[in-house]
Each structure stands twice: as C-alpha cells, then as structure tokens.
Amino acid sequence: MAVSRSVRRGLAALAVLVTVSALTTPAGAQEPPPGGTGDTTYRESGLPGRSADAATPGRATAAGENRPVGQQAGYPRQTSLREFPENPDDKAIKLGLTPYHDIAPQLNELQERSDRVSAEVVGQSTQGRDLYLVTLTAPESPAEAARQARWRELIEDDPTAAADNERLAREYKAPVWINANIHGDEWEGTDGALDVIERLATGDDPAEAALLESTRIYLTVTNNPDGRVAGTRANAAGFDVNRDHLTSSQPESRAVRDVLLETQPLVMIDEHGYTGTTLIEPGTPPHGRDYEYDLYIKHAYENALGMERAIGELGHEETARADIPFRDFAPGEWDDWPPIFTPMYSIYHGAVGHTVEVPLRVNRAEYEQLPVEELRRRSSVNRDVADATITSAVEYAEEHRGELLADQIETYRRGWAGEPQRDIPDEYVPGFGEEDRYSAEFPRAYVIPAGEGQRSAPAAARLVDHLVAHDVRVSRAQHTFHLDGQRYRKGSYVVDMHQPKRGLANAMLSAGQDISGDVPRMYDISGWSLGLLWGATVDVATDEAPAVRTAPVAAAGPTGSLPPSPNADLALTLTDGADVQAATYLLERGVEVTRGEDGTLVVPASARSEAATAADRFGVSFTRAGKDSSGTPVAAPVIAAAASADELAVLRGLGFDVRPVSTAVLNDGFDFDGVSALVVSTGLDHDALTADAKRRLQAFLDGGGGVVARGAGGAAFNEAAGLLPVTAVEGRGDANGVVSVTDGEGGVLDRAPGHSFVYAPLWFTGLGEAVTAEQRYTRDPLVSGHWRPGEDVGGPAEAAGEASVVSGVTDDGTRAVLFGTEPMFRDHPKGLYAQVADAVFWTS
C-alpha cells in the first residue's frame, strides 16, 4: 500500500511532534536573543527517550506556514518576517557583510517590490533566531502549485508513472536548493545568496524571467544564525550542524532536513569556506556505497566544471581555478562517504549535492589579526564566488532539467524495483577508475522486532520515528509471521527495501563496511550504524521479504507500561537512555528509588502515579519488583563534567544535573559541594591544577565522589590523580568506527549492547587487582570504519581481546569507570547512553 509523502509526513507530525522542554534542552543553549521567542516545536527531540505524551494538531510546513495538511498555497507566499533589534556585536559587520538583524528587513523589502520572491520561516535556531527559506519562482496560482506538489510526490511514489507523464516532463519546475552559512564563521554564502535573490527578484533580464518560469530556487540563507552572529563554526549548543544530518539532533539540521524533503531538489549547493583555492565537489573516494553513483557523478562532475568556469570569469587572481577533489585530490582527502554532511545526505534524496568552499580565509586568527580593509577585500572576493557558483548551478539545472529530472525519477524507480546498482565503466567521467567503485548489496528487508525479541521497545520506537522523519518507509506487521526460521510478533516493524530511498535506509540501518585497506585516511567518520548503535534489535532479511500483511507507519506505537498489580513495587532496568530519563524524572520528584546489586532500580508502589507518568512520557516499561527488593537508596546524581559539547548534551538529556568544569574552573575555586560524580574527557589537566584545586578535588574523592573518565584525556586524568592502576594504550587519533565488544568480568555494564563506537580508540592493559574489565574488544573488533595501525600505535589486532571499559575501587574507596570507547559521540550512539548512566550511578 503506497501512501503519499504529504499524508505520511502530516500524520507523523500529528503523532510525534513534541515540545522541547527543560529536559531536552541541548547543552550550551542560551536565552533567545531580543525579539526571539525561543519556543519551538520539533518532530523529534533528538535525545535518548521518546516522548509520547504530546501531540500537536497541524504542522509547520517546509514553507513555515501553519496550514492544514494537504492545503497548498500558491506563489508568492510572502510573510512579514519579524525583525530583530540591531546587534552591533554581530561578527559579520567587521567583514562588511550582512549582519543577521539586517536579513529580515532586506527580505521584507524585496517581498514588497517583487512577486517572484517569497520569504518564510522554517524553524528557529538553538537561541531562537528565525531560520529563513526564500523561494524564487514565477507567480503560481494555488492550483498550479498544487499540481507541482502532486508531480513531486508522483516522482517518489510512482516513478514509472512519472516517467511516462509527458506533461510532467514539460511543465515540472526544476527545484534547486541552496544552503548557506551552516558553519557560522563561514559567512559569505549568505551574502552571495542575497545577491542572487535580489538580482532574480528585481531584474528585467528576459532570460532570468524565463528561468523562473521553469525553475524554483530555494535558499536557506543562513542555516546557523547563532554561529553567524557569534563568529563560531558550531551552533550555540556547540554542535557542528554539518555533521548532524544522520542524527538530526539539532534544530538547525532538522529544519533543513524538512526543507530538503519538502522541496526534493534536483541540485543542491552547500556554501562553505575557506580552503585557499575555491573547492567544488564531487569528492574523492571512498564514495558512499549506497548511492546510485552513476546517476550522481555524471552531473556532479559537469556541474563542478561549470562552476569552475564561472569563478574563473570573475577576473580575480584568486579564482582562476578551482580544486575539484574528485579530479585533483588523492583518495581519502575529501571523501563523500558518510551521510553526515548536507550534500551527501541530499544525494540519498535524489539530489546532485555539492559542497562549495569559497577561497579566502577571514575567520579565526585572520579575523583577529588582519586589517579590516584586507578582511573586507577577501570577503568581497568570497561573496563573488558564492554568487557565481550559485548562479552557475542554477543555470546547469535549467539547461539539464530534463536529464536531471529523468535521473531523479530513475533513482526512485530502481529503489522500488529492487534493482542492483549499475556497474560503472572506467572513464565514465574523466578519471573514473577502480578506486572509485563502491557499491552495496541491498538486503530484501530489515525487521525491528516487537515483544520478547526486542532488546528495548523505547529504542525501537525511537528508531522507527527517526526513519519515518527522514522519509524512510516503515510498515507494521498485522499478524505474527516467520522469516529465516525466526518468529516475529504482530506489531513488528518492517523496512521493505523495495522503496524509493533504499540507499538512505541502508546507510542508516546496515552494519557498514571496513574500509581501512582502501584509503590511507579519512576526512571524518567512516563507520556508523543506527541498526547497531541505537539500542534496538534490528534483524536483516537478506533475500526474502516478510510474507505478512503490513500497514504504513506514521509514528511508532506507544511502548510505556506498568504491571497490573497496583500494590506491588515496580522495577526499572536501565537498558536504554529512555529508562535513564524515567529514573531521573522520578528522582527529581522526590520518589524514593533504590538500586539493587544488579543495577535494577526499584520504585515503591506508593509512587505508582509518578511511574505511570514516566512510563507514558518516556515510553518505558516497569515490571513487578521481586519480593526481596531491598537495595541502596539512590539520590539524583549531580555531575561535574569536563567534557565536550556533545557529551554535555547527552548527560543533560538523560536528566542529570550537570555542572561544566575545566582546569580553569577548578582553579577559580569550583565548589564540589553536592557533586556526586566527576566526568572527565577533555579540558581538565590534573597537573595544571593549583594546590588548592587539587586539595578540593581530593576532598571530593575522599568524600565518596566517583569518577567516570573517557578517552585519552580521561586516561591521563586517571593516571595523574592516581586512581586505577591500568595502562592506557592509544590507537590512531583518526581511527573511528563501529566495533564489536563482549562482556568482561565486571557487573557495572551488564546490559550493554554488543557493539560500541570508537574515535581515537583506547584500550587498557596491566589491570591491577582492584580493576575489572567491564567490556572487551572482540578478537576481530572493527565492524565498519577506518582503523589502521600507526608507526607507534596499534590497530584492531593489537586491541583485540583487550579491555575497552574498566572499573575499580581505589585504596581510598573512590569508584572509577574508564571508557576507551566513545559512548556519547555527537549524540549518535544512543544505545550506549544507558551504560554511561550505569557508570554514573555506580560511581556516585
């Protein structure tokens, strides 16, 4: 049964829109700027639990209007944008570029002057600034716009019919999406986009008018306004938004995800800086193995050449040529392997995606040190480059509209048909060879079991909702079925891989691939797997689809429950981050929770009402506690954390009271009063602490405070503080990926999953008598990713069988847990969050 995307996404929004609350506020979030509300609803919280207690009628469309689902406005869709107070501290001002507070006035003025331009709000940033979507197109009646929307859905839902529709071929407007300023201190994409908007909205060139008759140009003029104002690469929560598209943990990435899904562009450009010479993708190998790469590379390469010609015509000495990584770089230097970057993520939705890096650096040290005149000269060149590359890409889309459209249709058709990817011959485009061949054998289906076969029902529900939010089609079995000798209960979820976006589904759910032998190094992460790292059981059906009647899923079903006995104490096992959220919720409300030796939490029958609220809110299941349910009373942990922004976000999202610390903070007199655990991964150098800071730290440890340490920074702190007697062995700093692990000899992480994530992996040897291996790398640990041995550091063979996580008690009674893995990396390995909480509770 095919259900149109507008209906699926509308139902999903009705079912799972949740209001971001204090519980799910990202680390680093601040009060909204003057004029900003800061009150925003999102389809997903991006945090460990899944809230099922809030349903909001209606939806905010990609165009930012609150319209009933299915109601299609025409163009222009002009909005009176709220205008923010002038901010003289906006970092763009020094560069002679547009400060954020001037964007809305410019767009409002253009809307008054032109019926070719629409400006709308598609969401808010972390600090509450509006995210703008500008659409350039010739005026359309509501009926004409509705026809375009039906054709867009037909392309995905029934590509065979779309390919045969002659009127669609003639009249479908080619969508092009430009995303700018995703890195806040890479400014000029915004200004180049504004230049294009003004020219096409107000010019009298007949060719440009004709362009807008056959094309819709969508521009998100600043994807990271908080970073733009502050002059930071990351958003206000400390996240790199251009690493967040697989997880969509941030409001900025969720907003542009929804723009992408609603506009379905044929071509997309992501404007960045600064690489010295203008850089224009396509990238080097390894290429994303789940792409329909033949349909992508032929356009990407030609479009890149056109953009290179366009910047050459600017006449600037610095723009005489471009670097095209596919053509000019060695394998691994600038790859398109992971779906975390905006253009790479867009390829899975049928777009020809490019990163463009404008050439001349004006941020960081240069921003502080260069004369203003030179900074503005450089910014002017960069602005010209952004304008030229946007203009050239739009012209490519207009000139090649028919072929681009046919190839997007073909991408979806192959998915529906379950056809294999195409073999690509040498010199398919100049330079294409054996090193460029990456492909996947798609399984027939994935099954996310219900019932006793599922490790964590909340984790499964969260995964299903995430897939649906990303336009992966999921269905629910209407009765019990058998597949590959296994019985699956009614209600199990099926991801049939005969679907239009099978590449994205596979990139999300598959185990991935070990590419260590393919290239010498990688640009960023090389292994990821929501199927292995999000805490849910996900089974793979290689050859056979489930023979069962299914119904399309708009949102996962509720998973929270309590046992029927009203007078029995309740047990909660911390299997998933959602369980941790439920526990901290109860502790915050003064419920007397105890913890057994196996880590199970017991809630008294008298708190059944509070437990029912937690079960509903976080989707967790309480069971009946045993007759002997005695344990240690649990207090709500208070954490002092010397950790990265992503780790702080996870800890706060789990509901812990987190107080960021560092060497400087401790030296300034940080008071450990009330703190129960110290989390250390970065920013805390024990040797650099003052004598007084060391005294206060030692008093904390002597008073029963525990330590949870991660990575090289945590291991160095452990050694300097004289905690656990172990030797930490480091792998390569750029090694990363999904690893298989096995239970060790301890009892702190008994429920940890069999896979973990590493970046700059660490392992522990020489364990003293008081130290226990909680987890070990398996004999062949790397499942997917890139992990080679270095000259002085080991690879997977050296880590095999060694301890990846250890725990122990010092002679003075301090409890400590050391992680050599990365259980909180970029809000990605959500299935590992409960083991972090186990460590916090045990050490507290």
One-letter amino acid identity for 635? A
Q: Are 565 and 791 in contact (CB under 8 A)?
A: no
Helical axes 293-312 vs 401-417, angle rounded to 10°: 160
Q: In what order do the strands lie in the sheet with 493-496?
A: 539-541, 445-448, 493-496, 475-477, 550-552
Rounded distance between C-alpha atoms, residue 358 and residue 95, angstroms: 15
For residue 825, the SS3 value is: helix
The two tokens of residue 572 are 């909660």
Tokens of 94: 């020094």
**Tokens (6 digits) for 530:** 């929501």
Residue 493, helix vs strand vs coil = strand
Element (H, E) at 30: none
Q: Which of 681, 671, 422, 444 is nearest to 545 (CA)?
A: 444
Q: Check the CA dihedral 66-72-74-75 and report its sign.
A: positive
What is the rounded CA–CA span in Å between residue 685 and residue 717? 7
CA distance to 81, 469, 559, 822, per residue, from 462 (Å) = 34, 10, 10, 21
Hey, what long-range contacts does 89-95 have (CB within 8 A, 24 or more apart)?
89/229, 90/228, 90/229, 91/185, 91/187, 91/228, 91/229, 91/230, 91/231, 91/367, 92/187, 92/228, 92/229, 94/367, 94/372, 94/375, 95/187, 95/362, 95/367, 95/375, 95/376, 95/379
| Annotated active-site residue in 120, 252, 398, 410 | 410
Answer yes or no: 410 catalytic.
Answer: yes
Alpha-carbon dihedral angle through residues 33, 37, 41, 47, given to the nearest 10 degrees: 40
Give one DSSP letter per residue of 179-225, joined into a string. EE-SSTT--HHHHHHHHHHHHHHH---HHHHHHHHHEEEEEES-S-H
338-362 as b/e: b if 16+ CB within 10 A: bbbbbbbbbbbbbbbbbbbbbbbbb
Q: How far apart are CA 696 and CA 433, in angstroms?
A: 61
Cα–Cα dist 192/198, whole Å: 10
* Integer Cα distance of 437 and 190 in angstroms: 35
* Cβ atoms within 10 Å of 692's Cβ, excluding its own: 11
- Secondary structure tally for the chain: helices H, strands E: 26, 36
Please state whether beta strands 59-60 and 66-67 pair in parallel, antiparallel, or not at all (unpaired): antiparallel
Ramachandran angles phi, psi of 729, nearest 5°: -110, 130
Active site (catalytic) residues: 410
